Amino acid sequence: MARLILITGGARSGKSSYALGVAEKISKKKIFIATCPHLDSEMSERVRRHTEERKGRGWQTIEEETELANLFPEKVQDADVVLIDCITLWVNNILYKSGEDNIDDYAISKLCSLWLEKTAEYSGTVICVTNEVGMGVVPENRLARKYRDLVGTCNQLIGKIADEVALVSCGIPLAIKK
C-alpha cells in the first residue's frame, strides 16, 4: 500500500519546491506527473520553469492531464516515489473536458476515489500537490464557485486518507497531519 503525502497551500506559496525536496529525500528513483495543460504561452512558460527546476535532479516526467488512475500502479512501478503536481489542475482539466454541466461533487468524488484506489496498489510514496482554494473570497461566478467546490471535495478525500498533510505558507511547511 502506498504512503500518501498531501501538500497544500496558496498560489506561489512554495509547495511545489517543498514537494520536490521531500521526494528527493526519499529516493533517487522518482517520477513527476505533470497535469498542467499547455493552453497558452504563459502556461507553457510556467511548465518550462517547473521543468527547469527539476533539470539535472534525476526526475522522469509523465504528462497526464486527466487519467491519473491509468498510471497506477503499472506505469509508475519502477519508481520509489511519485510526485503529482497538481491536483488543482487535474480537477480543472476534468471540468474543462467534461463540461461544467457534466461534472459535480458526486462525479469528481468517484474519479478521485478511483484514482486513490489505484494508488493504494502502488508500493512506493505518492506526493500530491494541491492548492487550498477555499480560503479566499467566494468567487463571483457560478463556474468559479463550482471549481472551488470540486477542488475542495478532492482535497478532503485525499487529506482524509493521507498519511501526512502539510500546509505551505510563505515557503514554510506546517505539519497538519503526521
The catalytic site residues sit at: 50
Give this prediction's pTM: 0.94
Residue 122 burial (10 A CB sphere; 0-12, 13-18, 19+): buried
pLDDT in tens, 42-99: 888 888 888 888 888 899 999 999 999 999 999 999 999 999 999 999 999 999 999 9
CA distances from 171 to 89, 166, 168 (A): 21, 12, 6
Longest dimension (CA), the chain: 45
Domains and CATH numbers, the chain: 3-177 (3.40.50.300)
Cell of 119: 494508488
For residue 93, the model assigns a pLDDT of 96
